[in-house]
A = this chain, B = another copy of it.
Amino acid sequence: MRLSKRGEYGLRAMISLANMLDANQQNPIIPIKEISRTENIPIKFLEQILLTLKNAGLLQSKMGFGGGYYLAKPPTEINLGQIVRILDGPLAPIRCVSQMAYEPCACPNEATCGLRMVMRDVRNAIANILDNTTLADVTERVNRTPFEV
């Protein structure tokens, strides 16, 4: 049930970019090198990950001197489910309960397959959290945390 490094790094990078919005919600342009340094992610690996997220429409970039990456949409409109699916594929533990990549499984009758019923619940539980948590939610939660503890 694990998240790959690819997925983890991608999430960390996106959360990091969302945290860099200033008070006016202006979207700063951050070079890969800087994200790599602050998040401790191998730079060439991060390049690939950010490029993938860009091609999927979650990031935009500016090339050349003074360039870098920035969020393609406000943090309220990007959720963690999107990011994980782009980098790691379906959230579902087994394909026969996947919404985005359904495939039939080997069991004789899917409608009465006990494993499938439970795994559908698991998929829905994961999706409910990740699809309903935006980058803005994460930022807000982190900012709130020190005062709660």
B-binding residues in A (CB < 8 A): 1-3, 8, 11-12, 15, 19, 39-40, 80, 84, 88, 90-94, 106-107, 111-115, 117-119, 121-122, 125-126, 128-130, 133, 138-139, 141-142, 145-146, 149
Contacts and interface: CB of A to CB of B under 8 A. Distances in A.
A130 B146 CA distance: 32
Contacts of A115: 8, 11-12, 15, 138
A1 B91 CA distance: 6
Given A107-B12, A142-B112, A125 B129 contact: yes
A58 to B, nearest CB: 16
Nearest to A89: B2
For A39, A90, A130, which residue has the most chain B Cβ atoms within 10 angstroms?
A: A130
A146 B112 contact: yes
Contacts of A141: 114, 117
For the complex of A and B, the 8 pairs showing the least CB-CB separation, nearest first, are A114-B138, A125-B125, A3-B93, A114-B142, A40-B106, A15-B114, A1-B91, A121-B129
B2 A92 contact: yes
B92 A118 contact: no
28 contacts: A1-B84, A1-B90, A1-B93, A2-B93, A3-B93, A3-B94, A8-B94, A11-B115, A19-B114, A39-B106, A40-B106, A40-B107, A80-B118, A111-B145, A111-B149, A112-B142, A114-B138, A114-B139, A114-B141, A117-B138, A117-B141, A118-B133, A122-B125, A122-B126, A122-B129, A122-B130, A125-B125, A125-B126
